Amino acid sequence: MNALIGKKALVCGASEGIGLACAKALAEAGAQVTLLARRKSVLNDAKAQLATGAQQSHATIVADVLQLEAVHAAIQNGGFDILINNSAGPPGGALHEADPARLLQVFQQHVMANQQLLQAVLPNMQSKRWGRVINIISTSVKEPIPMLGVSNTVRGAVAAWSKTLASELGKDGITVNNVLPGYTRTQRLGQIIQSRVEASGQTVQQVESAMLASVPAARFADAEEIAHAVAFLCHPQSGYINGINLPVDGGRTKSL
């Protein structure tokens, strides 16, 4: 219950969806949580939803992860022990039709922003010889998802970035892992369903039924279920789990 008392966590994209669910789960485990997102008013509402104990004081940072230097400056002295990298995915579409400038922008939003965030929090983690870095990415790193070409490409880059860091930082007591959400009831899922409705001419119910046909659990996940996996990987007891891609997808991913 209180495994993370005394730990400070930075959660990106924390104003809603999986990011907010992660912030809640870490707060419930005792961590002091800083929520990072672009909209101040929404962040304040999100912070008010976090559990607060005697040793907890939560905070917010209003920032756009595309402003790399500003984000680095805002968090470099925060004393963070836990970093949750979480950022919205790009619009769908075929990869061969994607504008190269769009690919570059999404690469910056995910890979370059993650790198800046990591370098800002790393000195504190290394000095304590303890740290947790968790990236919320996608099951597409195991099985590319049709019509999410840019996302498939950049999420794969994040997975390779993470695996490399796991090898480099393990000796410092820092683990780096990826959580791969399946179909989860968030704004992002709503966008994907709507795009498939528009492309196919089917109803929302027909699109949802087709998606769920590939999920052995036969339902969409709640954001809290993804957050529980994230919180588990942050616990001290999870220190020997490093460099993994953990699908939380109801059994949809077919690869081992």
Token output for 134: 């968790």
- What is 55-78 written as a DSSP string? T---EEEE--TTSHHHHHHHHTTS
Per DSSP, the three-state class of 34 is strand
DSSP string, the chain: --TTTT-EEEEETTTSHHHHHHHHHHHHTT-EEEEEES-HHHHHHHHTTS---TT---EEEE--TTSHHHHHHHHTTS--SEEEE--PPPP-B-GGG--HHHHHHHHIIIIIHHHHHHHHHHHHHHHHT-EEEEEE--GGGTSPPTTBHHHHHHHHHHHHHHHHHHHHHGGGTEEEEEEEE-SBSSHHHHHHHHHHHHHH---HHHHHHHHHTT-TT-SPBPHHHHHHHHHHHHSGGGTT--S-EEEESTT-----
For helices 113-128 and 68-75, what crossing angle results, to 10°? 20
Both tokens assigned to 22: 């992660």
Q: Which residue has the tokens 């680095």?
A: 72
Q: What is the rounded distance in angstroms from the CA atom of residue 30 to the CA atom of residue 239?
A: 18
- Compute how many other C-beta atoms are within 10 angstroms of the C-beta atom of residue 231: 25
Distance CA 250, CA 215 (A): 6
User: How far is the first Cα of the chain from the last one, in angstroms, to the nearest whole number?
Assistant: 31
CA distance 88 to 51: 25
Pick the CATH number of 8-182+222-248 from 3.10.20.600, 3.40.50.720, 3.40.50.10190, 3.40.50.10440: 3.40.50.720
pLDDT at 1: 63
Domain boundaries, the chain: 8-182+222-248
Three-state SS at 206:
helix
* pLDDT value at residue 70: 85
What tokens appear for 143 in the block?
Answer: 């099985």
Q: Report mean pLDDT in 10-residue bins for the chain, 256 residues.
A: 92 96 97 94 94 86 89 90 94 92 95 96 98 97 92 97 98 98 92 89 95 96 98 98 98 93
Tell me, what's the pLDDT at 256?
85
Contact 156, 113 (CB under 8 A): no
